[in-house]
Amino acid sequence: MPDNRGSVLRIEITERLSPVFGGTVFGDVGAYECLSGTVYGALDPAHSHNRDIVNLDKAPRDANGLVAYESAFSLIKPIDVSKGNGWLMYDVPNRGNKVALTRLNLGADGNRPVTAEHAGNGFLMRNGFSVVWSAWQTGVPAGADRLDARFPVAVGAEGPITGVNRDEFIAEETGGPGDAFIQVVSAERFIAKLSYPVADQDPAKASLTVRQRERDPRATPPGLAWRYIDDRHIEVTRPSGGFDLGSIYEFVYPARDPAVMGIGFAAIRDLVAFLRHDGPDNPLGGSIRHTVGFGISQSGRVLRDFVHLGFNMAADGGRVFDAIFPIVGGSRRTYINYAFAQPGRYARQHEDHSFLDDQFPFTYSTLHDPISGKTDGILRRAEADGVVPKVIHLDTDSDLWVGRASLVATDTRGTDVAMPDTVRIFMASGIQHAVHKPPVKVVTELPGNPLGYSSYMRALLLALTDWVEHGTPPPDSQFPSVAAGTLVTREAAEAGFPAIPGVTFPDVLNGLTLRDHSVEPPIEGAPYPVLISAVDADGNSLGGLRHPLLTAPVATHTGWAVRIAGYAAGDLFTIQGSCAPFPATPDANDPRPSLAERYGTREAWAAQVIAATEGLVADRLLLREDADRLIAVVGETWDAVAVL
């Protein structure tokens, strides 16, 4: 019988705001309050549940032989917890940011969710959820009330631990997370922050290269130069010509003092286990019957890795999460449980293409991979431990292009894979990875894609909780497949894409190879088959969940965005999509029928949108309240694309 040595020692609540959300009373659930503070935990490196945490055995220990850590946390709950629905949602913070209220409730952005604007439509509160956040990584950007953790630095027997580390920089200032690590000094120079301190500032022991497009050879052209400013920063001088603002700068150097970042998985595990069981210090007072892990993008990948690495088993042998809801994570996991971890990195076609977050296994079923020679699956350890969660996995069209999401649905030969009975997978066709927020510069050929997937998340979350609590099967998976002809090669999709004026179909996607990371940059090996959606005559994706604005479209909506000249032309821009509206009237240069030819009148178009919307409601893929919201808008305007 496993013991409990090494877990949450105590929770210190330093702020209690009651009520919050402007005192709003959410039906029978009542008003909510917010508790914030610090989780103090300690881990036994010898415990079987902790032994896979890289470098935990090299972390400093307390008098009891345990490794201590601290994690900031925040909890919103009904003031009277007995009126809640008995569910605790763990919303995995994304780079220290709280996500659930913004994305599920459509509330105002902010990491201090206390106003009525933060509550948004009140979805989570009306349904009685308690929601908890806690820091699972160190070094998040400071400020904005982001949640940060304090994990120990590993130390070797002879002193500081050192190793080869690789950082990548693209100094184009487009408003992405990478901008926080770059300061552009002038057109010729920029300063870059390194992920880890430099172990030896001898310039001969480090190297800097540049390349224009991701697949180009790494180069050291005339004019490229760099120098150390201190042990965490370098100044880069751009080469004199031939490389634009989208160029990729790669720095390989000797690093030191890695934090034990894998503690983040154990910190999630032990906090959720603590909160789901009764105890004198539990602010939820034993009110929790079930738990769900919710994560978008990086946070969804954390959930996949959390289960894959065996952390869904608590120290007492019980299940941590009864269900997980990873969203837009694709087939990737995370760059966390490594000696020199970099949690903020995630592989895209152009940016951060070859970091350690994307190797086998990819799907939930346990498979043999002839390319790597390994046999594994995301659920393999949970199955062995008897702690398998119910899983609903939601990706978008962008995640096929950029997140290699086809590998969730196929084996490594490119053949369809049947999901375990505990898993449903969905792909939101024609939708981009992130909420549409234009970059601060125009760097793509087309405007961004305004279609959203928040409504899908709300319907699927309730289906997931019903599945766990009442045994009600959720909707069947809806994902493109090889057998149906809706999951195809890039070349096949290009052959079916219409010749739209001003639109360039990409000649690249975020491919994947087996990689040898024993050296940096890694050595590329055999390729994996990465597939994307087939398209219809309008260029809209087939297969998966069809948004009403794809069933009755007014534009071509893609999961990809092509970079323009000056910003690595032709490569894909991060995780964005594109939108190319149909002509209002016939256009001899555009092969797509115009709005007038398709629908005749706006009322005829609205009728088709409404019929598609009602179909989603009947299939339990859209809530009545969200359907009514869309229906109300299409009765007034053609411009309804952002409603769902």
Determine the Cα–Cα distance for residues 251 and 201; give it in Å rounded to an integer.
13
Determine the Cα–Cα distance for residues 93 and 101; give it in Å rounded to an integer.
12
pLDDT at residue 141, as a whole number: 87
Q: Is the pLDDT of residue 3 over 80?
A: no
Across 89-116, average pLDDT = 95
Residue 471's contacts (CB-CB under 8 Å, 6 or more residues apart) are none
Average pLDDT, the chain: 95
Distances (CA, A) of 617 to 458, 459, 475: 12, 9, 11
pLDDT at residue 637, as a whole number: 66
Distances (CA, A) of 133 to 97, 144, 275, 566: 9, 15, 12, 40
Q: How is the chain split into domains, by residue range?
A: 8-152+260-470, 162-256
Q: Please name every residue paired with 155 in a beta bridge, in sequence order, or none if there are none.
A: 160
Determine the Cα–Cα distance for residues 259 and 244; give it in Å rounded to an integer.
35
Query: What size, in residues, is the chain?
Result: 644
pLDDT at residue 136, as a whole number: 97
- Residue 358: both structure tokens together: 């994307």
What pLDDT digit, counting tens, does each position of 543-560 carry? 999 999 999 999 999 999
The full DSSP string for 483-506 is: TTT-EE-HHHHHHHS---TT----
Determine the Cα–Cα distance for residues 600 and 595; give it in Å rounded to an integer.
7
What pLDDT digit, counting tens, does each position of 169-195 carry? 999 988 877 788 899 999 999 999 999
Determine the Cα–Cα distance for residues 309 and 423; give it in Å rounded to an integer.
18
Determine the Cα–Cα distance for residues 320 and 388; give it in Å rounded to an integer.
10
pLDDT tier, 241 (very low <50, low <70, confident <90, very high otherwise): confident
pLDDT tier, 5 (very low <50, low <70, confident <90, very high otherwise): very low
Across 329-335, average pLDDT = 96
- Residue 551: both structure tokens together: 């069933």
Most distant pair of Cα atoms in the chain: their distance? 79
pLDDT at residue 344, as a whole number: 87
Q: Is the pLDDT of residue 640 over 80?
A: no
Q: Is the pLDDT of residue 625 over 60?
A: yes
* CA 621, chain centre distance (Å): 21
Q: Is the pLDDT of residue 420 over 90?
A: yes
Q: Is the pLDDT of residue 4 over 50?
A: no
Across 597-621, average pLDDT = 95
pLDDT at residue 639, as a whole number: 61
Q: Is the pLDDT of residue 434 over 90?
A: no
pLDDT tier, 89 (very low <50, low <70, confident <90, very high otherwise): very high
**Cβ atoms of 586 and 594 closer than 8 Å:** yes
What pLDDT digit, counting tens, does each position of 399-408 carry? 999 999 999 9
Beta strand pairing call for 225-230 and 233-237: antiparallel
Q: Is the pLDDT of residue 55 over 60?
A: yes
pLDDT at residue 1, as a whole number: 28
DSSP 554: S
Q: Is the pLDDT of residue 641 over 90?
A: no
Q: Is the pLDDT of residue 251 over 70?
A: yes
Across 569-573, average pLDDT = 97
Distances (CA, A) of 450 to 435, 508, 642: 8, 23, 5
Of the candidates 74, 40, 257, 19, the residue with the CA atom closest to the CA atom of residue 150? 40
pLDDT tier, 441 (very low <50, low <70, confident <90, very high otherwise): confident
Residue 198's contacts (CB-CB under 8 Å, 6 or more residues apart) are 206, 228, 231, 232, 253, 254, 255, 256
Instruction: Report percent pLDDT > 90 for the chain.
Output: 89
Distances (CA, A) of 238 to 117, 206, 213, 243, 570: 45, 17, 16, 8, 21
The answer, as to whether pTM is greater than 0.75, is yes
Across 369-379, average pLDDT = 98
Determine the Cα–Cα distance for residues 149 and 505; give it in Å rounded to an integer.
43
Across 420-439, average pLDDT = 91
Across 108-120, average pLDDT = 95
Q: Residue-wise over 489-519: b if at least 16 C-beta within 10 A, else e?
A: bbeebeeebbebeebebbebbbbbbbbeeee
Across 132-151, average pLDDT = 94
The SS3 call for residue 153 is strand
Across 99-121, average pLDDT = 95
pLDDT at residue 175, as a whole number: 80
Across 306-334, average pLDDT = 96
Q: Is the pLDDT of residue 6 over 60?
A: no
Determine the Cα–Cα distance for residues 410 and 163; give it in Å rounded to an integer.
36
The class of domain 8-152+260-470 in CATH terms is alpha beta
Distances (CA, A) of 345 to 107, 341, 359, 529: 27, 9, 14, 23
HSE at residue 150, side-chain half, CA atoms within 13 A, is 10
**Cβ atoms of 361 and 305 closer than 8 Å:** no
What pLDDT digit, counting tens, does each position of 498-545 carry? 999 999 999 999 999 999 999 999 999 999 999 999 999 999 999 999
